Structure formats: C-alpha cells, structure tokens
C-alpha cells in the first residue's frame, strides 16, 4: 500500500474520532442557563453575598455579567454600563466573588485539549501535503502572508487644579488634572487612537463619543480593552507601541514601569512591547506654562 495514502488515511480517521469525542463532550456537558435580572436586583444579590463567581463580557456599548449563585446551581445575568462597571466590579470583589473576563483561558483543560487536537491534526495534514509541493517552503509562505500596519495617535487636555492626574492608567500625585469627559488619560486616549488607526477602525471619538453620558468619568483602560477586542476580531496583533508624553510637571519617568504594566494588562500584551518617553515643552505655549498635557503614540500591528 502507498505510504502517503496510508498516512492520509490515518490522519483522516484520527480527526473523525477526536471530532466525535469533542462533540460528545460539548453536548454532554451540563449547562445551567442564566436567569436575566435587573441591575438593581443583581446589586441586591451582591450585597447579600449571594454571588459566588462572575464572568464578564465587554460588549460594544455595555458590560454583560453572568454570575453563579453560592447556594444554588442557578446563574443570574445582567447588563451594566461602562460607567457603572468599575463600581460593580469592586462590590463583587469585596463580597468575596471570583471575577474573570469571558475571554480568559478556560480552566477545563480537557475541553481545551479536545478543541485543539482536531486543529493540530488538520495543521499536520496540511503540512504533509505542502511537503509534497516542489519549490514551496511552508515557512516562507507563512512569512510572506504577514502584513504590518502602523497608526499614530495624538491627544491633548487642559489641566485644572483640584482634578486627579491620570496618565497611563495610573493616578499621579499632583495639584492639577486633565479636563475631559472621561478620566482624561491623555496617554491612553492617544494609544487607543493609534491602535484603531492602524487597524482602520476609526478613532476614539467614534467608539466612545463625549456626548454619551455612560463614558462620563470612565476609566480609559476600558477603552483599550475594547480596542483589543476589535483588533482580535480583525486578526491584528500588537507588535510595538512607542509613546511620548509632553508636560512640564510632574516628572513621569519614575512612574513609567507602573504605567507600562497597566497599559500592557489592558491590551493583553507583555510590557516589553510598550515604550514610554517624557518631554517638556521648554516653557513654550500652554503645555510649557503648565496649562495642558499632551501625548503622541505610534503603534505597530501585524496581521495574517
């Protein structure tokens, strides 16, 4: 019997078997549909410590919460605006509930294995066929299909006394802070614009307009988390971010490590992909007079 035919036959039947096992696992897995409740009723469950775990999904215009109850097999679900989400998250954590995002890795390694094996077998089968193609290198084909995209972002906010200074997701000790509809994080806003621009997905004003009350005082890291989801939907990966923040005071350099960690966590990348710099305006214009703060960002994406 031809060895190539035998290999393909074995791979085919192994794929059929594992697909069958995977489907059986999915169908036979117990499921408990969630009961939809109002946000006020959900808050009552939280205050009574009835919530055991909460699974969060960041949607386009709201946050979806699916929670398991402590003394029941039932689940409850509700929706909340981005403006109220941080408060709900803190209440859940204070009540002892486990909070995780829906796009986090599942702890069910068996299901992950069953989902991944058919894909691995399919890749192996494709590699087998490609090896028989003369003059074609699989590695070269993969490299040739990669595309790089670059986007730029810029943002500027006036500074006023008595407002918190949020830069890169971190509150800095200072007597002035940015004036803005959200928390006024100039670095996060410029970074969001750079990422959206590189992917051809508009700008921050398109997705988070300052006329929408739900973004009033919102944490700008939520904008980056949403941008990350949009990039993943178009198969873009963040390769590098280079940013410069322009302000006379305070000194930003000592806070850069914490900023990089906060930004990297929101974007789901390692902190070594984010590079930050600080500049002054040498006393020139509004920034030089300490009346404003600005940021420039360049983001590089890859796609396949």
255-280 pLDDT, tens digit per residue, is 999 999 999 999 999 999 999 999 99
Please tell me the distance from the alpha carbon of residue 279 to that of residue 298, in angstroms, as a whole number: 16
Alpha helices per DSSP H over the chain: 3-28, 39-47, 82-94, 109-131, 138-144, 186-199, 204-207, 221-233, 256-267, 285-288
Q: How confident is residue 131, by pLDDT bands cut at 50, 70 and 90?
A: low
- pTM comes to 0.52
Contacts of residues 128-134 at CB distance under 8 Å and 24 or more positions apart, as own/partner, are 128/7, 128/8, 128/11, 132/4
On whether the CB atoms of residues 83 and 63 are closer than 8 A, the answer is no
On whether the CB atoms of residues 242 and 298 are closer than 8 A, the answer is yes
Please tell me the distance from the alpha carbon of residue 86 to that of residue 89, in angstroms, as a whole number: 5
Q: Give SS3 for 265.
A: helix
How many residues are listed for the chain in this entry? 304
CA angle 27, 33, 36 (to 5 degrees): 155
pLDDT at 288: 92
Task: Quickly name the fold that domain 147-303 has.
Answer: 60s Ribosomal Protein L30; Chain: A; (3.30.1330)
Q: Which class in CATH covers the domain with range 34-101?
A: alpha beta
pLDDT (tens digit, 9 = 90+) per residue, 35-67?
A: 888 888 888 888 888 888 888 888 778 888 888
């Amino acid at each position: 019997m031809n060895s190539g035919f035998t290999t393909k036959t074995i791979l085919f039947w192994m794929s059929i078997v594992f697909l069958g096992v995977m489907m059986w696992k999915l169908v036979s897995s117990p499921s408990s549909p969630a009961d939809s409740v109002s946000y006020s009723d959900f808050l009552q469950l939280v205050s009574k410590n009835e919530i055991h775990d909460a699974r969060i999904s960041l949607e386009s215009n709201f946050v979806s919460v699916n929670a398991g109850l402590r003394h029941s097999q039932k689940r409850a679900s509700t929706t909340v605006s981005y403006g109220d989400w941080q408060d709900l998250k803190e209440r859940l954590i204070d009540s002892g509930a486990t909070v995780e995002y829906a796009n986090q890795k599942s702890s069910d390694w068996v299901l992950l294995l069953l989902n991944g094996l058919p894909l691995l077998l399919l890749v192996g089968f494709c590699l087998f066929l490609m090896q028989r193609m003369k003059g074609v290198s699989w590695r070269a084909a993969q490299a040739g299909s990669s595309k790089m995209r670059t986007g730029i972002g810029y943002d500027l906010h006036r500074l006023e006394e008595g407002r918190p200074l949020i830069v890169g997701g971190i509150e800095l000790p200072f007597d002035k802070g940015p004036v803005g509809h959200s928390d006024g994080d100039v670095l996060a806003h410029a970074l969001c614009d750079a990422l959206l621009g590189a992917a051809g997905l508009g700008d921050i004003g398109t997705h988070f307009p300052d006329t929408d009350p739900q973004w009033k005082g919102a944490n700008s890291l939520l904008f980056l988390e949403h941008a990350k989801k949009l990039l993943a939907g178009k198969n873009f990966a963040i390769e590098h971010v280079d940013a410069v923040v322009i302000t006379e005071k305070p000194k930003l350099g000592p806070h850069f490590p914490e900023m990089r960690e906060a930004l990297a966590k929101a974007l789901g990348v390692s902190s070594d992909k984010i590079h930050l710099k600080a500049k002054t305006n040498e006393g020139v214009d509004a920034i030089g007079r300490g009346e404003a703060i600005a940021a420039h960002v360049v983001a590089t994406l890859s796609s396949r």
